[in-house]
Structure formats: structure tokens, C-alpha cells
Amino acid sequence: MRKYFITGLLILVPLAITLWVLNAIISTMDQSLLLLPAQWRPEAVVGFHIPGLGTILTLLIIFVTGLLTQNFIGNYVVSVWEALLNRIPIVNSIYSSVKQVSDTLFSSSGNAFRKAVLVRYPHQGSWTIAFLTGVPGGDVANHLQGEYVSVYVPTTPNPTSGFFLMMPKEDTIELDMSVDAALKYIVSMGVVAPEHLPVKKDDEVLQ
């Protein structure tokens, strides 16, 4: 009986968590319906709530925003809007920081989270997977001798939190592993190993 119970858990728990995450995402995106006048909302038009309609509206707003900003007028409006936000104290620092991060993460030309690397953390006797995010800049680079890289070390099982580290490039090992595979490996706490495991030569084994 215990075997059947565990088998049932292995099937239902991932399904339940997936449905819970999807429900949370859809419920959050459905809040965009609040942007519509009360008389235009589904409750007023058809008499009941339609789940997912706000998600469609949110995706449509994102698509239209991207479409409109791909021309001269749209770029001008965005420039004026950003210039206005940059003149507002506190708001300018928050907006500029968030924009730099989002540009790095979502831009097709960005380099963030493009490589998975192996680093020694939290001490010399252990290893963990990190993601290469760039190189140190600003005055920080003036105080570092040699070639350094910036890495993000995610926590398990929640990779959205973690640690930002700057370390010598020679102390990192680039992995023959996609970012998606590395994330799955981290979230599963090492249970779900990558399918592609390249064979290492004797001289490539970790020292």
C-alpha cells in the first residue's frame, strides 16, 4: 500500500504544483481587467467572471506596446516617458535599475544567464552551479587584479534568490550544459541530472 501511495504522490504532486503556479499566474494577469471601465468588464457584460480573459488582455497589451514602440513615434514617446521618470527622485533610481536588469535579461543581445559554470562555493571543498552574468565594472574593476567574472549562484530549490559573486575567471569551469538543464538540475536538488553528460578525459577531471 505504501508503494501505491508514493506512486500516486509522484504523479499528483507535480501536477498539483503546476496547476497551482498556472492559477497564480493567470489570476495575477487577470487583474488587468481592472483597467477597463466597470461597464465593460465580463461581469457586467455576460453576468459572470471568465477566467483567463484578463490574461489574454495582458498579452495583447504587451504585444501592442511592443508593436507601437517599433517606429519613430513610439520610440519618441518612450524617450519622453523615460526622461520624465528620470526627473522624479527615488523613482528614477528604481526605474533605471529595473530597466537595466530587464534589458539585460530579456534583450536578444544580452549576455546574462547564457552560460552555466561550475564554481567553488561556499568553501574550497565544495562545488556548485552558477550562471555567468558578465564582468565587474565601474570602480570595482579598479580594485580587482587579474581577469574576473561576475556570476550568480542560485539557491535550491528556489533559484530566484541567490548570491552575486565576483571571482577570478580561472576559478570557474564552463559547463557543456544549457541554462535550462542547469536550472532543472538546481531546482531538483541534483535529482534530475542532465541527459547529455559529455565524457571527461582524465586530465579534465576536477582537481
Lowest mean pLDDT among 35-39, 71-75, 165-169, 184-188: 71-75
State the average pLDDT over residues 24-30: 82
pLDDT tens-digit series, residues 31-88: 887 777 888 787 777 777 777 788 888 888 888 888 877 777 777 877 887 888 878 8
C-alpha torsion angle, residues 162, 167, 173, 175 (rounded to 10) = 30
Do residues 131 and 120 make contact, with C-beta atoms less than 8 angstroms apart? no
Integer Cα distance of 98 and 104 in angstroms:
10
pLDDT mean over 104-111 = 55
Confidence of residue 135 (pLDDT cuts 50, 70, 90): confident
- pLDDT of 148 higher than 90: yes
CB 32 within 8 A of CB 61: yes
**CA-to-CA separations, 195 to 11, 59, 116, 192, in angstroms, rounded:** 21, 34, 15, 9
Domain boundaries, the chain: 1-68, 69-109, 115-192
Confidence class for position 14, pLDDT limits 50, 70, 90: confident
pLDDT of residue 103: 66
Around Cβ 201, how many Cβ atoms within 10 Å?
A: 6
What rounded mean pLDDT belongs to the chain?
A: 80
Q: In this predicted structure, what is the pLDDT of residue 147?
A: 92
pLDDT at site 168: 93
Q: What percent of the chain has pLDDT over 90?
A: 14
The model's pTM is: 0.53
CA 26, 27, 29 angle in degrees (round to 5)? 65
Place of cell 565594472: 137
Report the alpha-carbon distance of residue 131 to residue 134 in Å, rounded: 9
Q: Residue 95: pLDDT above 80?
A: no
The pLDDT score that the predictor gives to residue 165 is: 92
